[in-house]
Amino acid sequence: MKVLVTGASGMLGGATARALADRGDDVTVLQRRPAGLGLREVQADVADPAAVLRAVDGHEAVVHLAAKVNITGAWADYARINIDGTRAVVDACRRTGVARLVDVSSPSVAHAGRSLVGAGAGPADPDAARGPYARSKAAAELLALAADGPALAVVAVRPHLVWGPGDTQLVARIVRRARQGRLPLMGAGAVLVDTTYVDNAVDALVAALDRCRPDGLHGEALVVSNGEPRPIAEVLGAWAEAGGAPRPGRHVPVPLALAAGAVTEALWALRPGDDADPPLNRFLVEQLSTAHWFDQRRTREALGWRPAVSLDEGFARLARWYAEGGPGRS
């Protein structure tokens, strides 16, 4: 199959592109900077319709991962990359006769700030979603699924908190903060959260691509996770320990953390041109103090997929990667 993967400079996008190529697919990747995967590359802005059209032309399928994933930032940037970028991909698929589109979304598109306990893939809701990333991804998912039809089969896959060796976003930040003594637990640290080891997320995306077709799986959103909810303190502690950092032991009351997050957001807004995430904000506090775990029965049935790597094995692999010289130990 001739497949275009957008956003292949990220951990999940790169791993997905490599997995498809390794099994024999003809893979092209599109991203703004070199991915270094040894595959055919198109370096372009996903929000550039003409560039995306040229990249998509000649392919049978697209796996769309390119996105702005920061916690904070200007809405215009999220709208351009996440919404306009998805629109460009969808339009290019329609114009060039692509038959399959896997849109990689996020469970945050259906999260309104309350705990998710054994939840399914609720409808994406841009109005209720928390923060510019979630709102923009919700709008993008609705746009992608609206294109589903006899000529173009569309599936939205929402991997939850993907992590693993080589992760420069989630795990690297946790390890860095833990080493600096800046990783408190919100409340008791007992809320249950699902996460997804990267190899499992890749396998799920490949399965979605294979099953996405007009006479098969289409027009649906699926949440993907390891299906092993653990207390947030255990997950953060395992990541920190894998990177050679101490497990977090300090607890901060949630109301106090929310107040501190609001103050930090206000101060961060005074830093013109700074696209870095603040050390704390209300969205982050919500994520660390509310339960997030999901019913995986529909996902596993629809994809014919089950996670191959358990959380404990994933933690061990992460620790070995750091021990063998993975970045982030200084």
Q: Which residues are catalytic?
A: 133
Helix (H) or strand (E) holding 28, with range, is strand 26-31
3-state DSSP helix/strand/coil % of the chain, to nearest 5: 40, 15, 40
d(CA 108, CA 102): 18
d(CA 272, CA 258): 23
d(CA 282, CA 205): 31
The Cα-based distances of 21 to 14, 173, 212, 267 in angstroms read 11, 30, 18, 46
Residue holding tokens 């991909």? Answer: 89
Q: Are strands 192-193 and 230-231 parallel, antiparallel or unpaired?
A: antiparallel
Q: Tokens representing 233?
A: 């303190």
Helix/strand/coil for 256: helix
Residues 6+ apart with CB under 8 A from 311: 195, 197, 226, 228, 230, 235, 238
d(CA 5, CA 56): 9
Burial of 298 (0-12, 13-18, 19+ CB in 10 A): middle
Instruction: Confirm if 198 and 274 have CB atoms less than 8 A apart.
Output: no
d(CA 294, CA 274): 35
